[in-house]
Amino acid sequence: MAEEFPTTLGFALLGLAHQEPRTGYGLRKVFETSPMGRFSSSPGSIYPALRKLEEAGLIEARETDAKALYHLTPKGKRTLVGWLGRPVRAQDYDRDPDAVLLRFAFLDMLNEPARTIAFLDSFECAVAENLAALKAFLDSADGGTLSLHGALAVEHGAAAHEAALAWARRARRVIAAHTSPARRRAQS
Amino acid sequence: MAEEFPTTLGFALLGLAHQEPRTGYGLRKVFETSPMGRFSSSPGSIYPALRKLEEAGLIEARETDAKALYHLTPKGKRTLVGWLGRPVRAQDYDRDPDAVLLRFAFLDMLNEPARTIAFLDSFECAVAENLAALKAFLDSADGGTLSLHGALAVEHGAAAHEAALAWARRARRVIAAHTSPARRRAQS
DNA sequence: GTCCGCATGTAAGGCGTTACATGATTAA
DNA sequence: TTAATCATGTAACGCCTTACATGCGGAC
């Protein structure tokens, strides 16, 4: 049923372990000390998630120096890269914007600006679609069913979407600027 | 454990049933045809939630015209009003912004602009606090641990918070304008 | 010698998700 | 009469949450 295997939390762990092998505790610390905290809270979710990733063959604990550091298996890396490569659908951003941004955050591991740009393309489409839906709802309901407060609440959502669009455009510029002469030469 | 009884979905149902008594199906329809859809999805969550609200004595099904319409009991109304009156804490907005906006949307049932203003006060504080935390994180981590993509992802969050602040200020103006001469006379 | 941070878990509970099922009424 | 909409559910499953529990090592 639904079989979306690694959970958002699972992908967060996968991405972090790929950045640098860590212990379970080390992973927890990241959640506690960064905005990534939204994806977890304390051992009750992390340790079981790690075990499931391990059972699925996506990570392995390697004993290094008396510490068991988790690192990605090839399969784990494939899974992570596959996740990163998915285009952003409107429902993705609607249901769980945080997960979408998590994907963006990990996208730098690919070191392929073109992938990031493609991500931002689909991101903008998705957000624009959701924004249009909100506006359509406001137009259709306004002057009737919707209270003043209700309309304002929907407008909060619309404002958030507009901010996301502006962010995406800025991100695109930043990425482009960062991929200037030096890197572009190194790539081709 | 944690005993936060009515779930966000529960409060959504409470608020909708208070606006106007509806059948379970009628409530479902609201979720399917409005941005409130974020709080539910299909019967598997709504019917059990309704039963729990009924068992807790917050709503009652009244047989009207061969249809069972749910309406709030006095206790249900007290619970709802109590929820609406809570100040917004930083963690509230951080953990579940949607729930906070849902509260705002229902706030009009009180018909007390002062309450709405108080809500917006605490809302702004909460958002500002979260925004400051994100900025502090960016400042502390920048130039080191944080990748370009990571920093951009955090900035997306910051942009959303700033949009929320701007929205709150605008909402305040709209509410104030709506409470102009005519209503103000009626109130005092 | 005590406290704090490292490090790793388990147990109970609840809630939402998906998917399956069923019937009545009304419109084509 | 066949399809859609109204109307109400159940069952399996999984995941997160909270809270509890434990042990080691270093610092003061």
CB-nearest to A157 from B35, B107, B149 is: B35
**Which band of pLDDT confidence, cut at 50, 70 and 90, is reported for residue A4?**
confident
pLDDT at A181: 61
Query: Which one of B152, B154, B161 would you mutate to disrupt binding with A, by most A Cβ within 10 Å of its Cβ?
Result: B152
Measured torsion, CA atoms of residues B36, B41, B44, B50, in degrees rounded to the nearest 10? 0
Residue recorded with tokens 């109130």 = B187
CB crowding A70-79: b at 16 or more within 10 Å, else e: bbbeeebbeb
Nucleotides of C under 7 A from a protein CB: 6-21
pLDDT tens string A67-81: 889 999 999 999 999
Q: How far is A171 from chain B (nearest CA, A)?
A: 7
CB crowding B126-161: b at 16 or more within 10 Å, else e: bbbebbebbeebbeebeeeebeebbbbbbbbbbbbb
How many angstroms separate the CA of A168 from the C1' of C28? 48
Distance from C-alpha of A59 to C-alpha of A55, rounded to nearest angstrom:
8
pLDDT in single tens digits along all 188 residues of chain B: 556 889 999 999 999 999 999 999 999 999 999 999 999 989 999 999 999 999 999 999 998 777 889 999 999 999 999 999 999 999 999 999 999 999 999 999 999 999 999 999 999 999 999 999 999 999 998 777 899 999 999 999 999 999 999 999 999 999 999 887 666 666 55
pLDDT at B97: 97
Residue of A nearest to B117 (CA): A149
Residue recorded with tokens 């709030």 = B72
pLDDT at A188: 52
> Which contacts of A122-125 are long-range, i.e. CB under 8 A and separated by 24 or more positions?
A122/A87, A122/A88, A122/A89, A123/A88, A123/A93, A123/A164, A123/A168, A124/A165, A124/A168, A124/A169, A125/A88, A125/A90
Q: Is the CB of B86 under 7 A from strand D?
A: no
| Residues of chain A found within 8 Å of residue B153, distances taken between Cβ atoms | 101-102, 104-105
| Residues of chain A found within 8 Å of residue B166, distances taken between Cβ atoms | 159
For residue A56, what are the contacts with CB-CB under 8 A and spacing of at least 6? A5, A6
Q: How far is A48 from chain B (nearest CA, A)?
A: 20
Q: With beta carbons less than 8 A apart as the criterion, state whether B68 and B61 touch.
A: yes
Residues A108, B150: C-beta atoms closer than 8 Å: yes
Residues B159, A166: C-beta atoms closer than 8 Å: yes
* The one-letter amino acid at B144: G
The token pair at B120 is: 């917006």
**Environment class of A136 (CB within 10 Å of its CB; exposed 0-12, middle 13-18, buried 19+):** exposed
Residues with CB under 7 A from strand C: A 1-2, 23-26, 28-29, 42-44, 47-48, 50, 67-68; B 1, 5, 7-10, 40-45, 48-49, 52
Distance from C-alpha of B120 to C-alpha of B122, rounded to nearest angstrom:
5
What is the sign of the dihedral through the CA atoms of A9, A87, A165 and B100?
Answer: negative
For residue B186, what are the contacts with CB-CB under 8 A and spacing of at least 6? none
Q: Is it the case that residue A180 has pLDDT exceeding 80?
A: no
SS3 A67: strand
Q: What is the mean pLDDT of chain A?
A: 93
Q: Is the CB of B91 under 7 A from strand D?
A: no
Other Cβ atoms within 10 Å of A43 Cβ, number: 12
Residue of A nearest to B96 (CA): A38
Distance from C-alpha of A16 to C-alpha of A106, rounded to nearest angstrom:
8
pLDDT at A63: 83
* The one-letter amino acid at A171: A
Q: Which of A60-64, A172-176, B139-143, B150-154 has the lowest mean pLDDT?
A: B139-143
